[in-house]
Amino acid sequence: MEENRPYLSSFTDRHGTTRWRYRRGKTTISLKGFPGDTAFEEAYQAAIEGRTPRTAAVVAMPGAAMPGTFRAAWAKVKRTPEWLSLDAASVTKNTTLAEIFLELPVLDGQPELWGDMPVRDMKRRHVKEILGRYSSTPHKAKHLVVTIRKMLLVALDEEWIETDPTWKLNYRPEYKGWRAWTDREREMFEARWPIGTTPRTAYSLALWLGNRRSDVARLRWDWFDFKNGTVTLITKKGDKTLILPITPMLKEALAPLDRKSGTVLVTAYGEAFSEKSITGRMADWTHSAGMPKGCTMHGLRKTLGKMLAETGATTRQLMETLGHDDIAHAELYSRAAEQQRLARDGMTKVSKKYQSKKPSG
C-alpha cells in the first residue's frame, strides 16, 4: 500500500502500534487512523495538496438530543404509557410547558439552554430559581415543575440520576384561581340576560351542568335525552363519559331555543363558539350586566360545586357530577361548605348563650 501512496510510510512505535506518516523533504505529518478510513484519506490528500484537512460539518437533525439531557428525557416521556394515554388537551398543555422549559436559558443572557443540559446537573437550587422566574404567574410555575418532574422520573428509570431534586419541594401558589359567583352576581346576570338569549344559554349550560368551557362550547342537541331527562357527553379533558340530569332550571333555559343547529350554543351567525371566544364573550356579558371582574365561565363550574357541597352532596357525588378524577379537587368544595356550617352552628350557640344572659327590661 505504501508503494502506491507517494510519500506515505509506516512504522511500529515502542508500544507495538503501527503508525502512519507523510514525509516529503523536510516535511513530516503524522496521520491518524489507517488507510481506507475517511479521516485518514482526507488527511493524506490534504498533506499532498498542502492544505488543512477538511472536517465534515455537524448538522443537528430535528429533534436530536444528546444522551442524558433533558431533551433526551422529554423524547422518552412521549413514549411512556402514561403519556400515550393522555387526552389531546393535556398533551397540548404539557408539550407547551415542556418547550418553555427546554428553551429556557440556564442563566439570563447566556446561550446555554436547559434542554441541552444533562439531567444530572439539575440541583434543587435550580428548580427554585426557575420558580422564581415565574413568581408573577404562580400557577404556570407550579405546572412547569410538574412537567419537569415527568422528565426527572424518566431519568430515574434510565438510571441517569439517583435522586429527584424536586422531592418534597413545597410550593403552593397563593393565587386561588377562578372563584364561584355570588348569589348577587347571579341575580345581576339573570336580570340583564333573560332566558332565550345567547348569554343566558351559555350561563345556564355552564352552571347547571358544571361543564368546562371546552365542553360547553361543543354540546350538541343529540346528546340530550329530554324524554329520560339526561344529557350524555364525553369530556374533552380526560375523555370521561358523564351522564348528567337535566335540571328543571336547565330545561327552562333550553325550552325556547331553536334546535336546527347541531350545537346548542351558537353565535349570531349560527356557528359554534370556540373555547377562547366564549371566554372573551362571557367577560363582555358580565361587564354589560354591571358585574365586577372575576365572574368567569369556569367560576360557574365552581358555583355548582359550591351549591352541591352546601346542600350536603358527598365527595363522591361532587366528583361524578363535575368529572373530577382527583378527590382533592372535590374535597375543596366539601371543606369550604363544612367550615361555613361549623362556624355558623358554633356562633349560633355563642349567640344564644350570650342572649340568654342579658338582663331583661
Please tell me whether residues 189 and 306 are part of one structural domain.
Answer: yes
Where would I find the H helices in the chain?
A: 38-49, 70-77, 81-84, 88-102, 124-133, 138-157, 183-192, 198-209, 213-216, 248-254, 275-288, 297-310, 315-322, 327-357
Please tell me whether residues 199 and 303 are part of one structural domain.
Answer: yes
pLDDT digits (tens, 9 = 90+) for 238-287: 778 888 889 999 999 999 998 888 899 988 888 888 888 888 999 999 99
Please tell me whether residues 114 and 211 are part of one structural domain.
Answer: no
Cα distance between residue 189 and residue 182, in whole Å: 11
Low-confidence ranges of the chain (pLDDT < 50): 175
Strands 8-12 and 18-24: antiparallel
Q: Tell whether 177 is covered by a domain.
A: no
Cβ–Cβ under 8 Å, residues 8 and 28: no
Using alpha carbons, list the distances in angstroms from residue 241 to 95, 157, 207, 237, 319.
25, 33, 19, 11, 13
Q: Tell whether 1 is covered by a domain.
A: no
Please tell me whether residues 152 and 203 are part of one structural domain.
Answer: no
Q: Tell whether 219 is covered by a domain.
A: yes
CATH number for the domain that contains residue 205: 1.10.443.10
Q: Tell whether 290 is covered by a domain.
A: yes
Query: Within 10 Å of residue 189's Cβ, how many Cβ atoms?
Result: 23
Q: Tell whether 347 is covered by a domain.
A: no
Q: What are phi and psi of 189, to 5 degrees?
A: -65, -45
Q: Tell whether 121 is covered by a domain.
A: yes
- For 111, half-sphere exposure in the C-beta direction (CA atoms, 13 angstrom radius) is 0
Global pTM exceeds 0.85 = no
Please tell me whether residues 287 and 148 are part of one structural domain.
Answer: no
Confidence (pLDDT) at 260: 85
Using alpha carbons, list the distances in angstroms from residue 84 to 80, 91, 212.
6, 9, 23
* Buried-exposed string 5-41: b where 16+ CB fall within 10 A, e elsewhere: eebbeeeeeeeeeeebebeeeeeebebeeeeeeeebe
Please tell me whether residues 125 and 273 are part of one structural domain.
Answer: no
Please tell me whether residues 141 and 100 are part of one structural domain.
Answer: yes
Please tell me whether residues 125 and 245 are part of one structural domain.
Answer: no
In whole angstroms, what separates CA 305 from the centre of its chain? 23
Please tell me whether residues 150 and 274 are part of one structural domain.
Answer: no
Please tell me whether residues 197 and 329 are part of one structural domain.
Answer: yes
Total domain count, the chain: 3
Q: Tell whether 355 is covered by a domain.
A: no
Please tell me whether residues 335 and 198 are part of one structural domain.
Answer: yes
Please tell me whether residues 32 and 76 are part of one structural domain.
Answer: no
Confidence (pLDDT) at 175: 46
Show the domain range for 202: 183-341
Q: Tell whether 194 is covered by a domain.
A: yes
Confidence (pLDDT) at 361: 54
Cα distance between residue 322 and residue 236, in whole Å: 13
